[in-house]
Chain A
Amino acid sequence: MIPRHHALAVYRTMLKIRLFEERVAQLFRDHKLYGPAHLYVGQEAVAAGVCAHLAPTDYVASTHRGHGHLIAKGGRYDRMMAELFARATGYCKGKGGSMHIADMSLNMLGANGIVSAGIPLATGAAFAAKVLKNGRVSVAFFGDGAANEGVFMESMNIAATNRLPVVFVCENNTYSVGIKWRTVANHDDIAARAHGLGLPGVIVDGQDVTAVYREAATALERARSGAGPTLLECKTYRYFGHCGIWGDPRDPAEVAAWKARDPIALFAARLRSEGMASEAELESMAEELRRELDAAVAFAMASPAPRPEEVTSDVYSESTGPRASTTAGTTGITVGNDVVSKYLEE
């Protein structure tokens, strides 16, 4: 079980992701947002269980389904919502959107619109951590679809050979877009692919946050100790279709079966049964998060759109030589609007 001092924080992260994603879905239904948004609902235990062990300086590379990873790494509702609303106050000043949302001040190396592309990025961050001897670790989140891309194998091979401090977290939700895993692979477990490359491959119940938390602790300890990478295959499921509220070809009975093992409900029951939290305490946590979410939506809607002349800024860095630090503590944000600046300071 997750230690008492950590358990409520982990639960809060899962709930924070769930409420954010459900609000995003509603905003799409209300035609308030545009563009794709791949929702993380159902998979919350993975991001929360893994990122609970990370410091702000540790690295995370994410996927097109990246909101959960950013929230678990410490991302803010207001700047996330502003980015989804394509506002100048968003994490990417309206230039990235859902699929490229990032917070370099948290060393969150971005969601990524290219399936599997975050895997070598996380491996590279681990390579830098090893060369610079700064004690940081790196986590690559990706899905079962990415496991069929070449860089998955290439990155694991490079990481294992060089004993890089990285953990490969495969969120196997069974479907890559609409393709069922066994339609495009002749075996069940992605974890097995690690064994031939000389690194541990561990199968984890991705709906049980205590299992994710435990296995991530082991894998990250291995990474930090210099023993090298681990592949964690978390068996999980997304509640929405591939791309948010639109189209879902899956069998409703299958979806219902997975929902019966909801990661948040399972963990809430456990917290209550072990006397760590009462129903009222968990409900008041949800209320607090909903208020934060209301404020974030209001902030986003009140924020300015990016000015048209901003379209060609941020293409190139003008600086050369030893560059500005990208370590935790810097926000990298520049906001012209005083009201918004004030909001961000609060």
Chain B
Amino acid sequence: MPREMNIREAVMDAVKEEMERDPTVVYLGECVEGLFGDRSYEMPIAEAGFTGVGVGAALAGLRPIVEIMFGDFVTFAMDPIVNQAAKIRYMFGGAASVPLVIRCPFGACPGMAAQHCQSLESWFAGIPGLKVVTPATPRDAKGLMLAAIRDDNPVLFCEARHSGIRETITDADGPIPIGKAAIRRVGKDATIVTYGSMLEKSLQAAEQLAAKGIDTEVVDLRTILPLDEEAVLASVAKTGRLVTAAEAYAPCSVASEIAALVMEKGFRSLKAPLRRVHPKFAPVPFASELVHSLLPQVEDIVAAVERPAD
């Protein structure tokens, strides 16, 4: 039955649907008892331990989804994700697979401060063996969760925790291929490459730019590992101008990677220097005024598109 959902409800919908389809799907996390009947398992506050349990369970016939309540807590689980899940298949010469989803919601909001607001997805986007998806909309969240559960590789599922987007979801909303970007707005004058929580602001910026006569294309990466290089390069080839917009810090980020990609493979398309729109380089603060100051706003994106050489 069609139902309007937010991003969290869409993720739940996908997990429920997949559990009905596949008896090996289980859900592990904190405060999850009863969330999916007897298919969700309450874990202690021990992210390293239960993420490792998820890896072991994936090696032994299950398709676990491990929930990191706030993505920031993934720091505890770096070993099972980076040294175990990502590398086991390769280290064993292809003789094993790790069909594991690590659900890792990221994003800032006022009042939650420095340890519950980060966007750390870039850290994982350079690790061979992992896939990293960053859905910004409920429909993408459902489709990418279905795909992530069915994927035989470890997938870090980084939904935009505070996305305000609501969409009508139906049973016909199936899996969305991992590694495929979406063109959210077609335009010919400039390209904004974005993902996750910055999609909404990018679309608002594009509307403001349209009113000023700048027809802007918005590319939503949806997956940051592997990157949909073709979609980015095709858009830049068309518009000749590129701005990235993301909630992750700029140094060594997905935005840096997009910049490098366009330098290496799309340089001749560029009519102007590319610009990265990103948070200021400070931890996420508590006060709403400071959070607003830290995060990129719609006007920052507009300004970056209008004045690429500033």
Q: A interface vs B, CB < 8 Å?
A: 59, 61, 90-96, 100, 102-105, 107, 109-110, 112-114, 117, 119-129, 131-132, 134, 136, 138, 150-151, 154-155, 157-158, 161-162, 313-317, 319-324, 326, 331-334
Contacts and interface: CB of A to CB of B under 8 A. Distances in A.
Contacts of B131: 316
Q: 8 closest Cβ contacts across the A-B interface? A: A124-B56, A120-B52, A154-B49, A332-B95, A93-B93, A314-B94, A128-B60, A121-B56
Given A315-B90, A326-B61, 4 more contacts: A59-B56, A96-B91, A131-B57, A134-B61
Contacts of A315: 89-90, 128-129
A328 to B, nearest CB: 12
A323 B25 CA distance: 13
Interface size grouping (class) on chain B: 35 or more
Contacts of A91: 92-93, 95
B79 A114 contact: yes
Interface stretch (B2-10, B40-48, B234-242): B40-48
Nearest to A157: B44
Contact of B62 (A112, A128, A331, A332): A128
A317 B94 CA distance: 8
A158 B49 contact: yes
B152 A92 contact: no
B49 A102 contact: no
B253 to A, nearest CB: 23
Nearest to B48: A151
Contacts of B59: 104, 109, 121, 124-125, 128, 326
Given A104-B96, A316-B153, A332-B95, A151 B90 contact: no
B115 interface: no
Main secondary structure of the interface of A (DSSP, over half): loop
Contacts of B56: 59, 61, 109, 120-128, 138
A162 B153 CA distance: 26
Interface stretch (B80-88, B162-170, B267-275): B80-88
A161 B44 contact: yes
B249 interface: no
A58 to B, nearest CB: 10
A157 B49 contact: yes
Nearest to A164: B53
Q: Which of B60, B64, B94, B147 has the most CB of A within 10 A?
A: B60
B89 A314 contact: yes
B22 interface: yes
A70 to B, nearest CB: 12
21 contacts: A91-B92, A93-B93, A96-B93, A100-B91, A110-B92, A110-B96, A114-B84, A123-B49, A124-B54, A127-B62, A128-B61, A151-B49, A157-B44, A158-B53, A316-B153, A317-B152, A320-B147, A320-B150, A326-B60, A332-B92, A333-B95
Given A132-B62, A151-B48, A326-B96, A117 B57 contact: no
Interface in B95-112: 95-97, 99
B96 A123 contact: no
B288 interface: no
A94 B93 CA distance: 7
Contact of B92 (A96, A321, A334): A96
Contacts of A103: 95
Interface string B14-35: 0000000010101000000000
Nearest to B87: A100
Given A125-B56, A315-B89, A326-B59, A332 B84 contact: no
Given A158-B46, A314-B90, A320 B96 contact: no
Nearest to A92: B93
Given A151-B49, A157-B44, A320-B152, A127 B93 contact: no
B96 A121 contact: no
